[in-house]
Amino acid sequence: MTAPQDTATSIREMGVRARAAGRVLRSLPTARKAQALQAIAAELRARSGQILDANGQDVQAAQLSGLPAHMIARLRLDAAALETVAADVEAVSRLPDPVGETTPAQPQPSGIQVSQRRVPLGVLGVIYESRPNVTVDVAALALMSGNAVILRGGKETVHSNAALEAAIRVALEAEGLPGDAVQVIRDPAREHMRELLRLDDLVDAIIPRGGAGLHRYCVENATVPVIVGGIGVVHIYLDASFTHDPDDLRRAAEIIVNAKVQKPSACNALDTLLIDREALAALPDLARALLENGVELRADAEAWGALQDAGIVTTPAADSDYGTEFLALTASLKVVSGEEEALDFIAAHGNHTDVILTRNDAQAERFIQDVDSAAVIVNASPRFNDGGQLGLGAEVAISTQKLHARGPMGLRELTTTKWVVVGEGQIRG
């Protein structure tokens, strides 16, 4: 296993090598990139024993350090999980390649022909935490979109990531491509991450995947542009029209439970349920469905009173329970007097994923138009704000900013465009 980097200057050298590798990748035809990804999948399978042994070292170290059980679960790989990782790489190889897409040439009065062509960003720096599958997922998306990538995982995954990088490098070099297209910073010391954030002459974009603290650190310390995402409060607004029919009420409960329970640690899991005052009679049934699934409910005074009258004990909400991303089996409840108040509340607290449950088409359209979030969803779970679910095949992260990319970042979001101008000797007068 390659030794960890032990000097900050080696991070710059990684950037130099990534930039050189990126020049090779940006001109590769789609079939060549797809073949490389298929080779990576095969190498992951061939090296499964080594990769799982390395992961075992990380798991053992995490257990000895007292890492919480749910974090260890995110860290752990087994044969089935590694097969899923390899299959996901093959799935990326079959996605449509956005690189090279060109708009129709438009003639200008001068006689020049002008078009735009889609091209890779160049070199990506991706900073993330416990899950080793992210190493491979991001590498596959970067390669298929023609980008080189420098990866910085958490200290919990240092052995796993080194083994995964080795497999990727061997596969790329066997295909005649530069192994430096995918590099892992194996020493998790924060000073190395800080240098990556400041490598603006070699790295084109930083994409952090993790908690609010990581995102804040990147924004405050980077001179490389940072694509911020994955942080934000998720709301569901339940309109009274969705509670008149027993089937709709059942669907509402299913959606709300799925939104909170299916993966509570995900950034697109429900945080706050807004209930139209005219739908308050439906709240006890919805609350019971959540409580039966182990969800702690924090209710405003009106919701708390309605639940108390129904014999349901909940926790009174504090002001801090609104605008909070819980990432756990906790949700806040708030009663609103119609869509207008719901929209005002979401405008003050939302930017990630927001849902309306309604049978009123005009209200649905008003919600879509007014809510300024990365994803707006009508009558479905917020858990669909995911690259795989939205047809992108996979994602690097979910961006909640507005420049360049917004929402799940798949292959197209890892590209940009350049102008192509073709003339026949024209000069500007």
Residue 389 placed within a domain: no
Q: In terms of domains, do 281 and 205 share one?
A: no
Per DSSP, the residues of 197-208 read HT-TTT--EEEE
User: Strands 272-276, 296-299: parallel, antiparallel or unpaired by DSSP?
Assistant: unpaired
- The number of domains in the chain is 2
Q: In terms of domains, do 145 and 169 share one?
A: yes
Per DSSP, the residues of 250-275 read HHHHHHHHHHHHS-TTSTTS--EEEE
Whether residue 114 contacts residue 105, with contact meaning beta carbons closer than 8 Å, is answered with: yes
Whether residue 404 contacts residue 416, with contact meaning beta carbons closer than 8 Å, is answered with: yes
Residue 403 placed within a domain: no
Distance CA 119, CA 27 (A): 9
Whether residue 373 contacts residue 348, with contact meaning beta carbons closer than 8 Å, is answered with: no
Q: Report how far apart, in Å, the C-alpha atoms of 348 and of each of 272, 323, 340, 415 are.
A: 13, 8, 13, 32
Dmax over CA atoms of the chain, in Å, equals 83
Strand partners, 125: 150, 206
| The two structure tokens encoding residue 266 | 């995900």
Q: Is the pLDDT of residue 346 over 80?
A: yes
Domain with residue 344: its CATH number is 3.40.309.10
Q: In terms of domains, do 270 and 369 share one?
A: yes
Distance CA 402, CA 225 (A): 13
Q: Is the pLDDT of residue 1 over 70?
A: no
Domain with residue 141: its CATH number is 3.40.605.10
The arithmetic mean of pLDDT across residues 377-394, rounded, is 90
Q: In terms of domains, do 223 and 238 share one?
A: no
Entry pTM: 0.85
Q: In terms of domains, do 198 and 315 share one?
A: no
Q: In terms of domains, do 297 and 376 share one?
A: yes
**Closest by CA position to 355, among listed 231, 235, 258, 233:** 235
Q: In terms of domains, do 129 and 210 share one?
A: yes
pLDDT in tens, 93-142: 999 999 999 999 999 999 999 999 999 999 999 999 878 999 999 999 99
Q: In terms of domains, do 115 and 51 share one?
A: yes
User: Strands 415-422, 113-120: parallel, antiparallel or unpaired by DSSP?
Assistant: antiparallel
Distance CA 310, CA 306 (A): 7
Question: Which structural domain range is residue 98 located in?
Answer: 15-227+409-422
The arithmetic mean of pLDDT across residues 21-46, rounded, is 98
Interior/surface letters 121-159, b for 16+ CB within 10 angstroms, e for the rest:
bbbbbbbbbbbbbbbbbbbbbbbbbbbbbbbbbbebbbb
pLDDT in tens, 365-374: 999 999 999 9
pLDDT in tens, 186-221: 998 899 999 999 999 999 999 998 877 888 899 999
> Which uninterrupted H or E stretch holds 139?
helix 133-144
Q: In terms of domains, do 33 and 80 share one?
A: yes
Q: In terms of domains, do 164 and 283 share one?
A: no
Residue 359 placed within a domain: yes
The arithmetic mean of pLDDT across residues 54-79, rounded, is 92
Whether residue 156 contacts residue 74, with contact meaning beta carbons closer than 8 Å, is answered with: no
Residue 394 placed within a domain: no
Residue 135 placed within a domain: yes
How does DSSP classify residue 129? Answer: -
The arithmetic mean of pLDDT across residues 251-278, rounded, is 95
Q: Which pLDDT score is estimated for 230?
A: 64
Residue with tokens 């979401």: 346
Q: Is the pLDDT of residue 6 over 70?
A: no
Q: In terms of domains, do 140 and 212 share one?
A: yes
Residue 289 placed within a domain: yes
Q: In terms of domains, do 188 and 293 share one?
A: no
Residue 428 placed within a domain: no
Residue 7 placed within a domain: no
